[in-house]
Structures are given as C-alpha cells and as structure tokens.
C-alpha cells in the first residue's frame, strides 16, 4: 500500500478578495470553542468570516474565524476558546455581524511555502539540575511565502496589496485534490516584491505573518 500525496497542480489556492453581507449574530457562548448562533446562516465546514460589532464579548471583534461543526442555526468558531471572554450582550447597541469571506483562485501562483517558527525555550535550571532544563514557551505561527507571476491589476494580487496597506487580516484556503481536504491560514501581509529580467516575465513574492493556528479540515 502506497502513502498519500497531493499534486500542486490540481490543487486550488484561494485568497480572500471580498467580504459578504453581514449575518446577524444573536448569541455567542463563553465556551471552548465559542458557538455562534445565526439563523439560517448557510455556512459550511471550512467557511471563513469576519466578526464585528459584538457587544459584551468584544474579544471576538475585527478578526477572521473558521467555521466548524455547522448546524442549521449555529456553528463553532474553530480553535477559539471563549471561556474567559466577556458575556455576549444581545441588541445593545447591536447583535454583531458575521461577514462571510469570498475566496478567489490564485492562478498566477507558482509556489507556496509555509513555515512555523520555533517556540521559545525558557531555561528553568536550578542548583539541583544536572543539565540545563527548559520549559516550552509561547509558540509562533510562522509565515507563508507566496511566489507568483506578477499581474498587479488582477483581483487576487490587488487584494494582497490592499491587505498590506491596510494591515487587516487576510485568509488563504488551499483545496487539495480528491479527498485531500482543506488547509486554511489567516495572517497579515508583511512584504511584497516585484522582479524581472531580460528573456523572462515579471515575477513577484509576498510574505504573510500568520496569526493563530493552521486549520486542516477534511473534505466536505
């Protein structure tokens, strides 16, 4: 029996290019993970959206989140522990909104490289230690580097540049062939570059500082 593998060609690399109309949030639980209530939300596993205008549980505001375990009137916010968040307040001044992300396929993409950064190692050696001892410190989500043929007026590349200028989070979604599922990453664009030479085409790259964990989800 051979191991699993997925070709780069045949995968789809989606980049956030728009936010949809806001869906009204009527409740959000102080739980791990947070469960958001939205009537007839229409969201599926692996959907991404931005939450804003929440009262009480303000820790949710102005971030992107991944939908997990969707039900008809609610869904979980993947890997979001709200047990220490403020209590959701309905209707004062607003219930809060969830804006679904629109992904567009990045057809100019020629390469992608995601690397986690090493977690800090905190030395805790004492007089009784026989060798250096360490505790694991905070982890670092690392970065995503994209290489592509430059076409700056195309929707996806314009969205990347807009995200760099605004400093807002942007989402990326890789759909692997067959039953490979999805890989979703969220971060901020730190740097872009453009380069070219004789007998070649203009190429570009972008470096994205990832925030939070990667989301690896099965095929729907």
pLDDT tens over the chain, length 220 residues: 688 899 999 999 999 999 999 999 999 999 999 999 999 999 999 999 999 999 999 999 999 999 999 999 999 999 999 999 999 998 766 689 999 999 999 999 999 999 987 778 889 899 899 999 988 887 788 999 999 999 999 999 999 999 999 999 999 999 999 999 999 999 999 999 999 999 999 999 999 999 988 999 988 6
The reply to whether 74 falls in a domain is yes
Measured between alpha carbons, how far is 160 from 173 in angstroms, rounded to an integer? Answer: 14
The answer to whether 158 and 147 are in contact (CB under 8 A) is no
Place of tokens 């992608």: 112
Measured between alpha carbons, how far is 172 from 128 in angstroms, rounded to an integer? Answer: 48
Greatest CA separation for the chain: 66
Residues 25 and 113 in one domain: no
Torsion of CA 6, 11, 17, 19, to 10 degrees: -70
CA neighbor of 22 nearest in space, from 61, 56, 78, 58: 61
**pLDDT score, position 1:** 67
The answer to whether 205 and 146 are in contact (CB under 8 A) is yes
Q: What is the CATH number of the domain that holds 81?
A: 2.40.30.180
3-class DSSP assignment, residue 166? helix
Helix, strand, coil percentages for the chain (3-state, nearest 5)? 5, 45, 50
**pLDDT score, position 92:** 64
**pLDDT score, position 26:** 93
3-class DSSP assignment, residue 157? helix
Domain region containing 37:
18-101
**Is the pTM of the predicted complex or chain greater than 0.75?**
yes
The answer to whether 74 and 36 are in contact (CB under 8 A) is yes
Measured between alpha carbons, how far is 209 from 23 in angstroms, rounded to an integer? Answer: 28
Residues 141 and 42 in one domain: no
The total domain count for the chain is: 2
The answer to whether 148 and 157 are in contact (CB under 8 A) is yes
Q: Where are the beta strands (DSSP E) in the chain?
A: 12-19, 23-24, 27-28, 35-37, 48-52, 63-68, 74-77, 97-105, 109-117, 121-123, 134-136, 140-149, 170-175, 182-195, 203-210, 215-217
Q: What is the CATH number of the domain that holds 153?
A: 2.30.110
Residues 212 and 115 in one domain: yes
Residues 62 and 155 in one domain: no
The neighbouring-strand residues paired with 103 are 16
**pLDDT score, position 121:** 87
3-class DSSP assignment, residue 12? strand
**pLDDT score, position 29:** 95
**pLDDT score, position 8:** 95
According to DSSP, residue 159 is labeled H
Residues 112 and 191 in one domain: yes
Residues 55 and 111 in one domain: no
């Amino acid at each position: 029996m051979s191991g699993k593998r997925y070709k780069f060609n045949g995968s789809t690399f989606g980049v956030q290019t728009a936010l949809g109309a806001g869906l009204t949030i009527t409740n959000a639980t102080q739980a791990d993970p947070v469960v958001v209530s939205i009537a007839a939300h229409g969201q599926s596993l692996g959907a991404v959206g931005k939450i804003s205008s929440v009262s009480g549980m303000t820790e949710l505001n102005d971030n992107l989140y991944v939908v997990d375990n969707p039900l008809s009137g609610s869904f979980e916010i993947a890997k979001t522990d709200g047990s220490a968040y403020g209590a959701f307040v309905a209707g004062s001044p607003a219930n809060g909104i969830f804006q679904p992300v629109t992904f567009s396929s990045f057809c100019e993409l020629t390469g992608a490289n995601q690397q986690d950064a090493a977690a800090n190692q905190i030395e805790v050696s004492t007089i009784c230690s026989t060798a250096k001892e360490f505790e694991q410190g905070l982890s670092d989500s690392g970065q995503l580097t994209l290489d592509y043929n430059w076409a700056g007026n195309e929707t996806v590349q314009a969205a990347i540049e807009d995200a760099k200028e605004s400093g807002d989070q942007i989402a990326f979604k890789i759909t692997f062939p067959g039953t490979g599922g999805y890989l979703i990453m969220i971060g901020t664009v730190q740097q872009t570059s453009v380069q070219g030479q004789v007998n070649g085409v203009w190429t570009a790259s972008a470096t994205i500082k990832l925030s939070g964990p990667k989301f690896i989800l099965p095929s729907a």
